[in-house]
Amino acid sequence: MRELRGRFAPSPSGRMHLGNLFSGLLAWLSVRSAEGTMVLRMEDLDPDRCRAEYADQLADDLRWLGLDWDEGYQTGGPHGPYIQSDRTELYADAFRDLEKRGLIYPCFCTRAERLAASAPHRSDGQVIYGGKCRRLTEKERAELGEKRCPAWRLMVPDRNISFTDKLQGAYTENLLKDCGDFIVRRSDGVYAYQLAVVYDDGAMEINQVVRGRDLLDSTPRQIYLYELLGLTPPEFCHVPLLLAPDGRRLSKRERDLDMGALRQRFTPEGLTGLLAFWAGQLDKPEPVRPAELAKDFDWAKVPAEDIVVHPDQL
Ligand code: GLU
């Protein structure tokens, strides 16, 4: 059997919060229970949001909980660099390859124009791009190009992309109808998450991706990119999100649930016990180290639905 290679790929855009940690712990348990290799990659492509000090803090918070990694950020390894902002040249190569094959085109639409086009919206609130700039002539492209820096979109086919998620089950999306041509490079030159994540998981030989359920609907786009780049997609496990009692997602905005606050209130074992309880690995929350959980880790016990976190549990 081939070795399991999993990863945790956080964005250092603030202090880690409970939801990130939950995904990180599950990714780690899955790898450690299979004696595989764990990779830590920093997804810091958005220069407006990401900072180097957050990346260091993130690594420190993971170690505090008792999670480690065999390759990656601060550790190095054969597939480095493990910080996306140091990998821009690699994404540029992949981008040029798609460009040469005539698969991408410049898009001059502003955000306001895209919204005003009253295109239907996806369930996540994103606009389904109607393909306006796909139909521009070369002359129109040249004229618009003098006024504006374009974003670049990948042309998607009118075809269903299906996969079976380890936790969420069968999932299908028609890329053209449900998503539309999507951005692979932003107008400020930053390569988009979709392109970078597929390129990196491919290059780092990742064969299992564990991440939050909010990214489930990115997966068909990513599977299409795997196909275009000649790569085999990994197994996907989209884990539940942690929700506040009012149904909102716990996010980086909840400062009282970020790692700074949690480290003051919990021991690493106490917090691991709570996360493991939510993950279905313990009958009740009791202090435990991640390493002790790894031997009995069972994906079949992990719930598929989002988990409501009550303030009195914290
Ligand atoms: N960097 C993404 C995030 O922090 C996760 C990407 C992934 O796991 O594919 O939300």
Q: Which residue among 39, 195, 197 has the greatest number of ligand 1 atoms within 8 angstroms of its CB, and so is best to mutate?
A: 197
| Closest ligand 1 atom, residue 10 Cα | 4
Pick from 18-27, 144-153, 222-231, 242-251: least confident: 242-251
Distance of alpha carbon 300 from alpha carbon 185, whole angstroms: 38
CA of 209 to the centre of ligand 1 (A): 10
Distance of alpha carbon 19 from alpha carbon 239, whole angstroms: 10
CA angle (6, 7, 11) in 5-degree steps: 165
The C-alpha torsion from 188 through 194 and 199 to 204, rounded to 10°, is 120
| Closest ligand 1 atom, residue 23 Cα | 8
Q: Which residue among 193, 206, 251, 258 has the greatest number of ligand 1 atoms within 8 angstroms of its CB, and so is best to mutate?
A: 193
Proportion of the chain above pLDDT 70, given as a percent: 94
CA of 240 to the centre of ligand 1 (A): 14
What mean pLDDT is reported for the chain? 94
CA of 91 to the centre of ligand 1 (A): 17
The DSSP string of 18-66 is: HHHHHHHHHHHHHHHHTT-EEEE-B----TTT--HHHHHHHHHHHHHHT
CA of 211 to the centre of ligand 1 (A): 7
More confident residue, 124 or 224: 224
**Helix, coil or strand: residue 313:** helix
Distance of alpha carbon 21 from alpha carbon 65, whole angstroms: 9
Residue 175: what pLDDT? 96
Tens digit of each residue's pLDDT (9 = 90 or more) over 182-192: 999 999 999 99
Q: Which residue among 8, 25, 215, 217 has the greatest number of ligand 1 atoms within 8 angstroms of its CB, and so is best to mutate?
A: 215
Kindly give the pairing relationship between strand 5-8 and strand 208-212.
parallel
Distance of alpha carbon 51 from alpha carbon 231, whole angstroms: 30
Residues near 180 by Cβ (< 8 Å), separated by ≥ 6? 119, 127, 128, 129, 130, 131, 156
Residue 110: what pLDDT? 85
Distance of alpha carbon 22 from alpha carbon 128, whole angstroms: 30
Tens digit of each residue's pLDDT (9 = 90 or more) over 40-65: 999 999 999 999 999 999 999 999 99
- Mean of pLDDT values over 5-26: 96
Proportion of the chain above pLDDT 90, given as a percent: 86
Distance of alpha carbon 15 from alpha carbon 67, whole angstroms: 16
Residue 185: what pLDDT? 98
Domains (range + CATH), the chain: 5-88+195-313 (3.40.50.620), 93-194 (3.90.800.10)
Tens digit of each residue's pLDDT (9 = 90 or more) over 101-136: 999 999 999 877 766 665 666 666 678 998 999 999
CA of 138 to the centre of ligand 1 (A): 36
Residues near 159 by Cβ (< 8 Å), separated by ≥ 6? 174, 175, 176
Kindly list the protein residues whose Cβ atom lies closer than 6 A to any atom of ligand 1.
Answer: 9-11, 43, 197, 211, 215
CA of 155 to the centre of ligand 1 (A): 23
Distance of alpha carbon 22 from alpha carbon 19, whole angstroms: 5
| Closest ligand 1 atom, residue 197 Cα | 9
| The pLDDT of residue 267 is above 70 | yes
CA of 284 to the centre of ligand 1 (A): 29
Distance of alpha carbon 128 from alpha carbon 114, whole angstroms: 9
Distance of alpha carbon 274 from alpha carbon 272, whole angstroms: 5
φ, ψ for residue 134, nearest 5 deg: -60, -30
| Closest ligand 1 atom, residue 201 Cα | 9
CA of 106 to the centre of ligand 1 (A): 26
Residue 310: what pLDDT? 84
| The pLDDT of residue 12 is above 70 | yes
